[in-house]
Structure 1
């Protein structure tokens, strides 16, 4: 960086200049120091502009990172909500399936019981008919036997 080299040059000038005896004062060539100060003035705006650019770029990067973080957080929140809704839907579906299965088992038991009752009723009627037929057969045979005598 050019500014640092000019500052180093200024420091060398101070260190290499003559000293006033019995004091901490230094005699510096006015022309040399004014020349160095002019160079600093011309260099400084460039470095300040570069520093401002670096700060602006840093701010842009920070802002982009903040926006990206917000986007990621929002996406994670939506995904969590979606999964929560899916879990709720799955829970409700399981609950509904259990209810349907329970009703189906109840209907099956009722149908089985109804089928047994129906079969018993049919068999009872059949037994009644068979009993009547058996009696008629017995009466017919009895009549036949009575005719043979």
Structure 2
């Protein structure tokens, strides 16, 4: 099931656009329902390139990924899966047609054998041999058809389950990484503000000490009620 489309935030607090134009154009391309042949491997490669091309935080092993863009790509791949499955179904249909042709060919051989039997009614040994060959050929063709059909269905089901599992793992990893990056940014901002607060406190203390040397009776500063955080 496709995730609900979230509301887009067009600009940040300073009014700058958060999403580049090329990302918006690609998102518009992905929102359209695919109608042409889709290469799932190519779309997965594009998803990988999207992650590798994202902004990497200096001095860390973390990358700042556009969560909405990443989820849009996953949704696009998920929408492409029915098309890919349809292509596999077409291939299966072609194989079934080939198998039907093989069965028709086998039937033609059987009919040829029956015609030959009609011509040599007096030769019972040849008649029995032709019947055995026709039955054996029919059995072999039927076994081959059933085996090819079963193998194809199993392969389609295996690829479908594998693709769904990989997409879910990539989605969970992307969400976890985005949450970790957001938490790290908050901690970094708090650390910077704490450092600035300490520096301002020290500067105010130095100014007050200087004034107190000039004016010994100078009362304590009004902001002394805000002690320095330990």
TM value normalised by structure 1: 0.59
1:78 aligns with 2:165: yes
The whole-number CA distance in structure 1 between the counterparts of 2:136 and 2:215 is 116
Gapped runs of 5+ residues in structure 1? 14-31, 130-149
Alignment CA distance shift 1:6-1:57 (3 Å): closer
Structure 1 vs Structure 2 CA RMSD: 2.9
More helix by share: 1
Distance of 2:187 and 2:170 partners within structure 1: 25
| TM-score, normalising length: structure 2 | 0.40
- The alignment partner of 2:137 has SS state of helix
Offset at residue 41 of structure 1 (A): 3.9
Structure 1 residues 35, 122: closer, same or farther in 2, change over 3 A?
A: farther
Task: Give the paired residue count.
Answer: 109
Larger radius of gyration: 1
The more displaced of 49-58 and 73-82 is: 49-58
Match of 1:43 among 130, 139, 153: 130
1:95 pairs with 2:203: no
Equivalent in 188, 196, 201 of residue 109 of structure 1: 196
Unaligned ranges ≥5, structure 2: 1-108, 217-230
Counterpart Cα distance in 1 of 2:126 and 2:111: 9
**Quick one: which of 149, 165, 187 aligns to 1:62?**
149
Task: Note closer, same or farther for the CA distance 1:123–1:7 as it changes in structure 2 (3 Å cut).
Answer: same
Partner residue, 2:112: 4
d(CA) in 2 for partners of 1:48 and 1:122?
111
**Deviation sequence 1:47-73 (CA, Å, 0-9, x none):** 222221121122112211211111111
